[in-house]
Chain A
């Protein structure tokens, strides 16, 4: 479930990046690459797990599925927080800098 949720997040972010490719000020490419990196790593983990468990890999317990779903959503949220922090620190549109200088 974690892998599935991260892959969905990666696909959605990639579509959004593609749609706004001419204006990279939101740095969506960074978020997409982060989710793709994690998805590839979890895919590798899943392949090894499948090699160990066989068909059982596709029939997880309900409790495990719920826990993995929570983990997947938390991972997506953490990715977005990292992206937001990076966006505010780099401030490509200069909005943060402008608002700070206005208050001073």
Chain B
């Protein structure tokens, strides 16, 4: 009915967070020396990791919105959601958003969390390899 609105809401929040982190990282990433610059650039910035979540949430929401248009659940005129036309359907829609919609957002975020953890482990392994070579 309108389950995609929950991940869309999350996508708006994460996009704002990404912009904030990006400007914070830019301010912090003024290289003092080549050595520091090298150490900093070997890590994946958090804003880059957040952009993975953004892409999954925005992309998924856009494709799901298309599915809702296909099924006639989203229309180009007010109130845009056909479920809003009767109170019973609106209640069912809110129930679906709180169950299916929230589960979608949680699942995508959980998968992103696993991606971030995996990339951190890989980067740590790479760092240890470089340190081992230096010794």
Contact = CB atoms under 8 A, between A and B. Distances in A.
A40 B66 contact: no
Interface string B30-71: 000000000000000000000010011111111110110010
Contact of B107 (A2, A44, A75): A44
A98 B61 CA distance: 34
A71 B65 CA distance: 12
A75 B100 contact: no
B56 A37 contact: yes
A34 B58 CA distance: 7
Contact of A37 (B59, B66, B67, B103): B59
Q: How extensive is the interface on chain A, given as a class? A: 20 to 34
B122 interface: no
A33 B55 contact: yes
A11 interface: no
Contacts of A78: 62-63, 66
B66 A41 contact: no
Contacts of A44: 100, 103-104, 107
Contacts of A45: 3, 100, 104
Interface of B: 3-4, 7, 52, 55-64, 66-67, 70, 99-100, 103-104, 107-108, 111
